[in-house]
A = this chain, B = another copy of it.
Amino acid sequence: MEKPYVIGIDVGGQSTKFGIVDARGTIMQSGCIEKTGQYEEVNDYVSVLAKALQEITGKVGGKEQIRGIGIGAPNGNYFTGHIDFAANLPWKGRIPLAQLITDQIGIPVTLTNDANAAAVGEMTYGAARGMKDFIVITLGTGVGSGIVIGGNLVYGHDGFAGELGHTIVRPNGRSCGCGRRGCLEAYTSASGVARTARKRLITHTDYSLLRELDPETITSKDVYEAAMKGDRLSVDIFERTGRMLGEAFADFIAFSSPEAIILFGGLTKAGELIMNPIRRSMEENVLKVFKGKTKLLFSELKESDAAILGASALGWETKSKD
């Protein structure tokens, strides 16, 4: 009999979430390790994780029922199964996480970065079902991307492709966490939105609800909440952020002409506040031959389950290794 389940693991700086998923995307069992960062030794982390996985696996009939494990992790490399120099995790250098987990659990593991996992999730269970060419853009603390072309995730020759958050949208522009200037991420991530707000409050004098907050602690959520109350400056910040995303998307379309661009992550809670300017700007800026062709969609994965589902979808890929 075909093994009916996969395991998805989402390794985040805050916590590690995992679940057992069936072919229709139902999460049968799930669990969580709080504070990934508390395990300074990766082997301790893997032991705790293995124990937790064995426990939930027991509830669905044991590991014979599991086809594969998929992991989404920051800086995860699909080709090597390593996590390479992830800034938000305590383990330094190259960590062979896929191998460490396989060794402990005896189930094949496929690992990639979190945005790629999100793209596979959308293709398997979400907004991209049936699509062969699409791009998932994750708008969270950073801006990530998972690119699918001809039904396959784009890994590039080294496994690191799809860093669209680090395309330069403003030459010599805002400094970015990557050490360069003008990256899309520096403007359109959740922290980019907060940065835009702080800058606007300093350089302009117009009234805003945001002036009631300590500028140093303003978050994209504050900007969103003010915008929902009709605060003009806050609405304008989403407008600018959306316009910049739309310009960048026009370039991405010139590259791979996707059927859809799918937005995922915290900032998408702003809904039409950000989607409208993106859509307008993308259509304004795109080359004529592409006009009106690329759909702009929100992720269809339920936020709380999305990370596990995305990672788990990779587990089905282990077929060829069976």
Contact = CB atoms under 8 A, between A and B. Distances in A.
Interface string A121-158: 00000000001110000000000000101101011111
Nearest to A153: B150
A254 B164 contact: yes
Nearest to A257: B156
A149 B290 CA distance: 21
Q: Which of A152, A158, A178 has the most CB of B within 10 A?
A: A158
A189 to B, nearest CB: 15
A228 interface: no
Given A158-B293, A247-B168, A178 B288 contact: yes
Nearest to A85: B289
Given A160-B290, A287-B163, A288-B178, A168 B251 contact: yes
A154 B285 CA distance: 22
Interface string A170-189: 11000000111000000000
Given A154-B256, A257-B157, A285-B180, A170 B171 contact: yes
Contacts of A158: 257, 290, 293
B154 A152 contact: no
Nearest to A181: B285
A149 B154 contact: yes
A168 B285 contact: yes
Contacts of A209: none
Interface string A72-87: 0000000000001000
Interface of A: 84, 131-133, 147, 149-150, 152, 154-164, 166-171, 178-180, 247, 250-252, 254-259, 285, 287-290, 293
Given A132-B157, A171-B247, A247-B171, A287 B254 contact: no
What 8 pairs between A and B have smallest CB-CB spacing? Answer: A156-B257, A161-B257, A157-B259, A163-B254, A133-B157, A167-B251, A166-B287, A161-B256
Contacts of A290: 158, 160, 163
A255 B171 contact: no
A163 B290 CA distance: 10
Contacts of A258: 156-157
A263 B79 CA distance: 28
B254 A166 contact: yes
